[in-house]
């Protein structure tokens, strides 16, 4: 082949290569985009639900703390660590909404300032007794525990929260967790401590069970799992805290889907 022929063909080769590259990139993009589109049916996928609430007692609404980064980081890690088909975006559901019954798992935080209406408490009680699971996070110290306990008694007047033993399946259904670690919020970490309130230690993981012994609520007290999800990719945030936070969350999801 002559040099003239090479020069004549070369632009078309380059064009064909660019077209193939474009098609390849577009195919990847189109696979991922539909799941983010509005109106997609998520009924066959695990959906991370964050509970929204109103009526807090002494400060502004706290339901959206760490959102959306913490939720989306956790969702990504859940999909990477397990074979659970995961919807790539969180869903916000109000504590009083019947929509909650479409999802087996829900996450709520800052419950130290939570205030439920009777109707909201009934909705949560029915959801939990029908097989739902709620993971509770990010409240600290005696004052916040007392407020949460009052709201819990609206949901379950005759049930008491109990410390979950480290031998419980929720600590071993995917990752083996042999001890609890207090996970600091970012502000506490920068102060050089793991606790948020002066009476906010040690860490507890408590639960509420149904009549058959199924854990319905995982109550993470004096710890901030959501902050560890949110800042997991930051170089300054210690890996041991984010790793523990992901393990706790993933185990909670797996337990909720298998019990």
For 116-168, what is each residue's pLDDT tens digit? 999 999 999 999 999 999 999 999 999 999 999 999 999 999 999 999 999 99
Segments of the chain with pLDDT less than 70: 1-43, 55-61
Percentages helix, strand, coil for the chain, rounded to the nearest 5? 45, 15, 40
CATH, residue 125? 3.40.50.12140
First and final C-alpha spacing in the chain: 70
Helix, coil or strand: residue 8: helix
Question: How, if at all, do strands 204-209 and 162-163 pair?
Answer: antiparallel
Tell whether 20 and 70 lie within a shared domain: no
pLDDT number for residue 242: 97
Tell whether 135 and 84 lie within a shared domain: yes
Question: How, if at all, do strands 204-209 and 215-221 pair?
Answer: antiparallel
Tell whether 77 and 187 lie within a shared domain: yes
Of 103, 162, 109, 146, nearest to 127 by C-alpha is 103
pLDDT number for residue 1: 42
Containing H/E element for 143? helix 141-155
Q: Is the pTM of this model over 0.85?
A: no
Tell whether 148 and 109 lie within a shared domain: yes
pLDDT number for residue 42: 67
pLDDT number for residue 61: 67
Tell whether 171 and 44 lie within a shared domain: yes
Distances (CA, A) of 144 to 59, 113, 228: 12, 7, 20
Please say whether the beta carbons of 53 and 107 come within 8 A.
no
pLDDT number for residue 60: 53
Tell whether 47 and 28 lie within a shared domain: no
Tell whether 139 and 70 lie within a shared domain: yes
Distances (CA, A) of 173 to 129, 181, 234, 255, 256: 21, 18, 28, 6, 10
Distance from C-alpha of 229 to C-alpha of 245, rounded to nearest angstrom: 7
Tell whether 199 and 239 lie within a shared domain: yes
Tell whether 5 and 114 lie within a shared domain: no
| Number of domain units in the chain | 2
Q: Which residue has the tokens 């990504």?
A: 76
What domain range is 5 assigned to? 1-32
Tell whether 58 and 162 lie within a shared domain: yes
Taken as a whole, the chain contains a residue count of: 259
pLDDT number for residue 198: 81
Tell whether 17 and 89 lie within a shared domain: no
Please say whether the beta carbons of 249 and 70 come within 8 A.
no
Tell whether 5 and 124 lie within a shared domain: no
pLDDT in tens, 225-248: 999 999 999 999 999 999 999 999
What phi, psi does 253 have (nearest 5°)?
-65, -50
Distances (CA, A) of 194 to 59, 141, 162, 191, 222: 23, 13, 23, 9, 9
pLDDT number for residue 40: 57
């Amino acid at each position: 082949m002559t040099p003239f022929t090479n020069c004549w063909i070369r632009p078309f080769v380059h064009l064909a290569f660019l077209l193939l590259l474009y098609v390849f990139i577009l195919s990847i993009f189109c696979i991922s985009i539909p799941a983010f589109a509005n109106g997609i049916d998520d009924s066959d996928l695990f959906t991370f639900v964050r509970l929204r609430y109103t009526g807090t007692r002494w400060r502004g609404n706290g339901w959206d703390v760490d959102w959306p980064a913490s939720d989306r980081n956790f969702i990504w890690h859940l999909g990477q660590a397990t074979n659970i088909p995961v919807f790539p975006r969180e869903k916000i559901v109000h504590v009083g909404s019947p929509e909650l019954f479409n999802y087996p798992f829900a996450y709520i935080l800052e419950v130290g300032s939570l205030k439920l209406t009777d109707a909201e408490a009934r909705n949560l009680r029915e959801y939990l007794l029908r097989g739902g699971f709620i993971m509770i996070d990010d409240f600290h110290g005696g004052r916040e525990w007392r407020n949460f306990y009052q709201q819990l008694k609206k949901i379950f007047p005759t049930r008491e929260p109990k410390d979950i033993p480290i031998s419980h399946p929720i600590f071993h259904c995917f990752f083996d967790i042999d001890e609890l670690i207090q996970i600091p919020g970012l502000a506490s970490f920068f102060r050089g401590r793991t606790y948020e309130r002066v009476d906010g230690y040690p860490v507890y993981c408590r639960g509420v069970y149904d009549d058959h012994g199924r854990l319905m609520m995982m109550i993470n007290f004096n710890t901030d799992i959501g902050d560890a999800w949110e800042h997991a990719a930051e170089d300054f945030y210690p890996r041991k805290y984010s790793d523990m936070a992901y393990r706790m969350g993933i185990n909670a999801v797996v337990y909720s889907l298998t019990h």
